[in-house]
Amino acid sequence: MITLQPGDIDVGGVTLRNHLLLAAGVLGTTGASLQRLLKLGAGGVVTKSIGPEPNAGHHGPCLIRTECGVLNAMGLPNPSKNFVEELAPLKGEPVIVSIFGKDPEEFKEVAGWFAEHAKAFELNVSCPHAAGYGAAIGTDPETVLECTRAVASYGVPVWVKLTPNVTDITTIGLAAEKGGASAIVAINTVRGMRISTAMRRPVLGNRTGGLSGKAIFPVAVKCVWDLYAACTIPVIGCGGVSTAEDVIEMMMAGAQAVEIGTAVMDDVRVFDRIARILYAKDGADPASIVGVAHD
């Protein structure tokens, strides 16, 4: 398979140790947990999404495995401003702080707490199961533009993580670009649900949730493909990546880096496992791979 030259890379205003980031919402609630993933080979880490108030999230079940993915409805649990203390020991590390709010003002308020700590912000305008937050605002281009602009005012790079649950993801990507985003992350989870036939009711406490993992990889590749064609800022691929081959495929669709989430469940050492296959001293220049399938 195709291999890449190892070494630091610059994507969306951030220097990463490799092309493999920990995705938001996975083992990202504590500083120690993020530190562990960096030690285990992640090129950068994205935190749990932090919002304006401490939030306990939805009642359980919050997460179940399916045949080829994971369905979750966590409900954006987070310690809000208390999270600042978690990041103190991570100073200097490639940490991207994921944030959410219900409007540009809330995004700006939350970003303000972390402006000194974040290498970049990742705006969560894509969580599919939190009323009034996430995808509730991320499906409106004007709101995405305003939220991006509000956070970009801090001078810290802003990444915008998009939902695939829209008719045309490029309209949202272009809105983020217009608002001053440094990168677009695609995608968040795909809306889904399961019903327990024995209990005659939806399994998730929130009834519906978001699907991640291998099942959504083709959806993510298509979204990255479309965004690469429509936008000029970097695209970061996210959704079902679990092998080195997936990384190359996502990059050929147009991603400059990838985020990995659900695969961590099967193997907490997934970053190192992929890196050992993905990188070689005589590997290709990553720039020659990104978007090459469009030629």
Partner 1 sequence: MTDLPMMPVPVTIKAIVEETPSIRTFYFDPGIPSSPGQFVMVWVPGVDEIPMALSSTHSITVQRVGDATTAMFNLVVGDKLGIRGPLGNGFAVSGRTLAIGGGVGVAPLLNLVTAGQVSTFLLGARTIAELLFAPVIVSACSLRIATDDGTAGRQGFVTDLMDEIDLADYDHICVCGPEIMMVKVLERLNKAGVAERGQFSLHRYMKCGLGICGSCSMDPRGLRVCRDGPVFTGIDLLETEFGKYTRDATGSRVHFPPLHPEKKDEKSGE
Annotated binding site for substrate: 48, 72-76, 124, 188-189
Stretch that binds partner 1, among 65-73, 151-159, 182-190, 249-257 (CB under 8 A): 65-73
Stretch that binds partner 1, among 49-57, 144-152, 234-242, 282-290 (CB under 8 A): 49-57
84: contact with partner 1 by CB under 8 A: no
- Strand 255-260 vs strand 235-238: parallel, antiparallel, or unpaired? parallel
Other residues' Cβ atoms within 10 Å of the Cβ of residue 32 = 11
269: contact with partner 1 by CB under 8 A: no
**Among 129, 120, 47, residue whose Cα is nearest residue 80:** 47
Q: Judged by CB, which is closer to partner 1: 43, or 51?
A: 51
From the CB of 209, what's the least distance to partner 1, in Å?
A: 12
Two structure tokens written together for 232: 């000029």
In sequence order, what are the residues at sequence separation of 6 or more whose Cβ sits closer than 8 angstroms to the Cβ of residue 67? 215
Residue 241 to residues 20, 87, 94, 158, Cα–Cα distance (Å): 10, 26, 20, 23
Residues in a beta bridge with 63: 72
Asked whether the beta carbons of 121 and 158 are under 8 A apart, the reply is yes
Asked whether the beta carbons of 187 and 164 are under 8 A apart, the reply is yes
215: contact with partner 1 by CB under 8 A: no
72: contact with partner 1 by CB under 8 A: yes
Does the annotation mark 147 as catalytic?
no
**Catalytic residue, candidates 127, 147, 223, 238:** 127
60: contact with partner 1 by CB under 8 A: yes
Residue 48 to residues 81, 172, 280, 290, Cα–Cα distance (Å): 13, 22, 32, 28
Two structure tokens written together for 278: 């993905």
Two structure tokens written together for 259: 């985020």
From the CB of 187, what's the least distance to partner 1, in Å?
A: 18
91: contact with partner 1 by CB under 8 A: no
In sequence order, what are the residues at sequence separation of 6 or more whose Cβ sits closer than 8 angstroms to the Cβ of residue 116? none
Q: Please give the size of the binding site for partner 1, defined by CB under 8 A.
A: 51
243: contact with partner 1 by CB under 8 A: no
Q: Which residues are annotated as a binding site for FMN?
A: 48-49, 124, 161, 187, 213, 239-240, 261-262
208: contact with partner 1 by CB under 8 A: no
Q: Judged by CB, which is closer to partner 1: 42, or 231?
A: 42
Q: Which of 13, 77, 112, 286 binds partner 1 (CB under 8 A)?
A: 77
Residues in a beta bridge with 121: 97, 158
* Binding residues vs partner 1 (CB under 8 A): 25-37, 48, 54-57, 59-67, 70, 72, 74, 77-80, 82-83, 85, 194, 196, 198-199, 201, 203, 205, 261-262, 264-268
> Which residues are designated catalytic?
127
